[in-house]
């Protein structure tokens, strides 16, 4: 079955609210089958209108809402990054954007904790220089 970063985030947000696909569909006025296809990665680029309606139904925290909008237009984002960010509330939206921009470079699976430490160290060094 396909997997997508957007799908993982939608499923995570739905699970946090203990909502069924039908619940999300009823609140968002988005067909439950379409929500399912988004969650499974069969569909990956919903319109801004659909994302807005899903956001209204799921009421994600601010960081997750920003990530949701980002993922709607960046289908290539690694699903593992969403899992990593979901497990670490200290990862800001800005950290997420930085990781999303560098994670796909290089061979093998990205080591997000190590990448994040390196990015933060680099940013701290830039701050010390300026």
State the total domains in the chain.
Answer: 1
pLDDT digits (tens, 9 = 90+) for 46-102: 999 999 999 999 999 999 999 999 999 999 999 999 999 999 999 999 999 999 988
Q: Rounded to whole angstroms, how far apart are CA atoms 64 and 115?
A: 20
Which domain range does residue 117 map to? 5-129
pLDDT digits (tens, 9 = 90+) for 100-113: 988 555 667 788 99
Q: Is the pTM of this model over 0.85?
A: yes
Q: Rounded to whole angstroms, how far apart are CA atoms 118 and 50?
A: 36
Contacts 24+ apart (CB under 8 A), 77-80: 77/5, 77/6, 78/5, 78/103, 78/104, 78/110, 79/3, 79/4, 79/5, 79/7, 79/8, 79/41, 80/109, 80/110, 80/112
CATH number of the domain residue 9 falls in: 1.10.260.40
């Amino acid at each position: 079955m396909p997997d997508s970063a957007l799908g993982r985030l939608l499923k995570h947000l739905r699970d946090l609210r203990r909502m069924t696909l039908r619940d999300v569909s009823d609140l968002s006025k988005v067909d439950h089958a379409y929500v399912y296809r988004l969650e499974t990665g069969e569909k990956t680029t919903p319109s801004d209108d659909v994302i807005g309606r899903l956001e209204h139904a799921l009421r994600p925290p601010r960081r997750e809402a920003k990530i949701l909008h980002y993922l709607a237009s960046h289908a290539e984002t690694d699903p593992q990054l969403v899992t990593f960010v979901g497990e670490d509330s200290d990862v800001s939206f800005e950290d997420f954007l930085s990781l999303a921009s560098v994670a796909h470079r290089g061979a093998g699976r990205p080591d997000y904790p190590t990448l994040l430490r390196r990015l933060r160290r680099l940013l701290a060094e830039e701050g010390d220089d300026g």
